[in-house]
Amino acid sequence: MSNSNASFMKPIWNKITYNFPCKLRTLAGHICLHSQQPHINAHVSLLQHINVTSLSHRQNTMAALNSILLLAFIAAAPLIVNSGDPDILTDFVIPQNLTLPMIDGNFFTFTGMRSLMGDDAPELNSFTVLKASASEFPALTGQSVSFAVLLFPPNSVNPPHTHPRSAEQLFLIDGVLDVGFVDTKNKLYTQTLQPGDMFVFPKGLVHFQYCKGRDSAIAVSAFGSASAGTVSIPGTVFGAGIDDEVLAKSFKTDVATVQKVKAGLAPKA
């Protein structure tokens, strides 16, 4: 917490911590004073006073709790604004199965993209993505960066999906891609990219890429997280086990249609 936040919160906190014991002492003092009077009217007066004082005490308690909740929100606001990959206190993160003497240049080298180079590059029949994230490249842990190579055969699509922990910056190397995303107001933004173009997909928004026509396309995507995450819309909605009746009602169709869609998305044997 910064000094400015601390100085802002101090007078509010002092007021809260002062009011609680003062109100309790006031209530206790009135109870002791009136309990010594034997006359019945005094007892009636005491009960009335306790009710009023208790109501006042509850009101002050609620006000104090509201202030505490406000303080908690103020304290958490910087954490919310700066959310993302957590900062690390070392130069890099060493995996649990390694020790520092075991770390050398190989740890910081990723060779998983070599298959793309030369004459041994694979022939693809469907969209394929090769990732270099913390899962595949542990040296990225804590570094807030990762990459992916997107390979599009002719007439292929990267289906609508989201990355919950990062925006995506796509750089088109070869071919032509139709890309787009939908914002939280349900507005669609699209573009046709040429080689050398870049396009950014904002964090968490549904987006897609489509390579139509007879030519293939290759793109490289950069992410501001070592583990951006991917949530496929078709795979999540129809492949996660949501009840057919729920999906049928949600898409205003019938169960048979839902089951047909699920069958089409099932992995081929």
pLDDT digits (tens, 9 = 90+) for 172-225: 999 999 999 999 999 999 999 999 999 999 999 999 999 998 899 999 999 999
Domain CATH for 216: 2.60.120.10
58 is written with which tokens? 């509850």
What gap in Å lies between CA 76 and CA 84, rounded to an integer? 14
- Domain assignment present for residue 214? The answer is yes
The dihedral of CA 6, 7, 10, 12: what is its sign?
negative
Strand (E) or helix (H) holding 218: strand 217-223
pLDDT tens-place string over residues 225-247: 999 999 999 999 999 999 999 99
- Domain assignment present for residue 249? The answer is no
- Domain assignment present for residue 87? The answer is no
Ramachandran angles phi, psi of 232, nearest 5°:
-75, 125
Task: Collect all residues with Cβ–Cβ distance below 8 Å to 38 and sequence separation of at least 6.
Answer: none
Per the model's pLDDT, the better-predicted residue between 41 and 154 turns out to be 154
Are residues 112 and 215 both part of a single domain? yes
- Check if the beta carbon of residue 135 is closer than 8 Å to that of residue 141: no
Domain membership of residue 71 as a residue range = 3-81
- Domain assignment present for residue 163? The answer is yes
Are residues 56 and 21 both part of a single domain? yes
153 is written with which tokens? 């055969």
pLDDT tens-place string over residues 94-137: 999 999 999 999 999 999 999 888 776 667 889 999 999 999 99
201 is written with which tokens? 């997909």
- Domain assignment present for residue 181? The answer is yes
How would you write 179-203 as a 3-class SS string? EEEECCCCCEEEEEECCCCEEEECC
Total domain count for the chain?
A: 2
Are residues 48 and 114 both part of a single domain? no
Residue 152: is its pLDDT beyond 70?
yes
Are residues 12 and 62 both part of a single domain? yes
Report CA 237 to chain centroid distance, whole Å. Answer: 19
- Domain assignment present for residue 89? The answer is no
Per the model's pLDDT, the better-predicted residue between 21 and 132 turns out to be 132
